[in-house]
Amino acid sequence: MSSFPKPYKVKVVEPVWLPSAEERARFLAQAGYNLFNLDSAAIYVDLLTDSGTGAMSQAQWAALMEGDEAYAGSRSFKLFLETVQEITGFPYVLPTHQGRAAEHVLFTSLLKAGDLVPNNTHFDTTRANILAVGARPVDLPLAQALDPELEAPFKGDMDLEALPDLLQREHARIPLVMVTVTNNTMAGQPVSLGNVRAVAELAHSYGIPVFLDACRYAENCFFVREREPGYVNKEVKEIARELFSYVDGCTMSAKKDGLGNIGGFLAMRDPHLHERCRERLILVEGFPTYGGLAGRDLAALAVGFREALDLNYLRDRVGQVRWLGEKLNQAGIPVYWPPGGHAVYVNAGRLLSHIPRDQFPGQALVCALYLEGAVRAVEVGSAMFGSAARMELVRLALPRRVYTQEHLQHVVDTLVRIKETSGQIRGLRIVEGEGPLRHFLARFEPIV
């Protein structure tokens, strides 16, 4: 599978089951052709998300047992705090139950109706949380990121030509700039440190703070080490410290690069903003030393944050994603290139080019993956983003430390079979669901 040794072996197993073709067809129809509505028991390889779906290490399970469940001032919070402070350098850290809660606390403390928030590309919950306070998310991806076949090292970067223009025209309406690392909506592509530094210099020249959406910062730093000149001999932790040094704070989903099944945080340098956010946190999440988490979650995350920066772990992690991307590419399946850090994105717009965008080619491919192989994936296209969609992609997100090469080979074989009969796959129409989060709840029906 790869040229380096796998840095873990299996200790606990979870049974999985491959339902029959008839069962799959029945389950899918019952789910309204939306795989968010399926029971996990009906799925063989679940690539819906890499969020909260990873396997914890023995050190994390051991830490759980030491969780301190005190309401205030728990030992586990202290461990969590010290770890996050050491990695990010941010003095103020508010734990949250997951990433979107950090977004909610930050945006309701900082934004007002009519404001604008630029980002390289907003994730769906970030976009929805900004819209919910009456502000407007503005995506500034690179033009080259919209070419799924172009090989380039940092297709996740923010467009440094568009940002100065926007800042000059609208700076009075921009309370913060965000950069998402890696850029999930743009096929999990990394962002260079040079780009983050330049974004921060521009924003700071207007006195505007910059926050990272840092969910996958460790994977991003691994790519920086591999691809950005001058970093190959640095430790990932050093690179991370440099990344955070350019910005003023971050939102974090610890369900990704915290290797946790739940958790997140909001961190920053500004004591005044911290005070406002802390009040809001108590209202919606909990006291600032637990913020919606159990003490044991905080304890396991303190261990997970460190493990996620381990070079051998990251080589295996990003290497597994790359292996899947390369296998699919070799089999003639159009995939966004190069593969991202946490997922391979299949170009459904091209694979199912006979299905028009308003009939959701990505969702049609997601359904085909389930019907053909009980594989669950997620559409990142017109069903998720409506008319704001820039590409019709299907994301195969790999949970961390969960699946073997055999599981991934099953995904490759399934897609190869789909490709052979792709002309027979039909589009879908939405029969239920609206708004910026409709993709979670929508129901579809096949167009016959």
Give strand ranges (E) for 199-338: 210-213, 249-253, 264-268
Sheet holding 393-397, edge to edge: 343-347, 393-397, 378-380
Whole-number minimum distance, CB 124 to ligand F0G, in Å?
8
Q: Which is nearer to ligand F0G, 325 or 427 (CB)?
A: 325
Place of tokens 């979107």: 100
Question: Would you tell me the crossing angle of helices 295-307 and 75-88 to the nearest 10 degrees?
Answer: 30
Rule CB under 6 A: say whether 255 interacts with ligand F0G.
yes
Which residue of 60, 88, 184, 363 would you call a contact of ligand F0G, by CB under 6 A?
184
Output the smallest distance, CB 177 to ligand F0G, in A: 15
Query: Omega before 190 cis (within 30°)?
Result: no
253 binds ligand F0G (CB under 6 A): yes
CB of 126 to ligand F0G, least distance (A): 5
- Measured CA to CA, the distance from residue 149 to residue 146 in angstroms comes to 9
CA angle in degrees (0–180, nearest 5) for 362-360-382 = 85
Does 297 contact ligand F0G by CB under 6 A?
A: no
**213 lines the binding site for ligand F0G (CB under 6 A):** yes
Rg (CA), the chain: 21
Taking CA atoms, 261 is separated from 61, 293, 416, in Å, by 12, 11, 32
Nearer to ligand F0G, 184 or 192 (CB): 184
Q: Is residue 422 close enough to count as binding ligand F0G by CB under 6 A?
A: no
Interface with ligand F0G (CB under 6 A), residue from 118, 258, 264, 292? 264
Residues 118-137, interacting with ligand F0G (CB under 6 A): 123, 125-126
**141 touching ligand F0G, by CB under 6 A:** no
Alpha helices in 308-436 (DSSP H): 311-330, 348-351, 361-373, 382-385, 405-420
Q: How far apart are CA 121 and CA 101, in angstroms?
A: 19
Nearer to ligand F0G, 109 or 253 (CB): 253
Among 57, 98, 195, 289, binds ligand F0G (CB under 6 A): 98
* Type of residue at 448: V
**How far apart, in Å, are the Cα atoms of 389 and each of 148, 153, 224?**
14, 23, 27
Please work out the total of residues on this chain that contact ligand F0G, with binding judged by CB under 6 A.
15
Span from 93-101, 152-160, 228-236, 313-321 in contact with ligand F0G (CB under 6 A): 93-101
Contacting positions for ligand F0G (CB under 6 A) = 49, 51, 98-100, 123, 125-126, 180, 184, 213, 215, 253, 255, 264
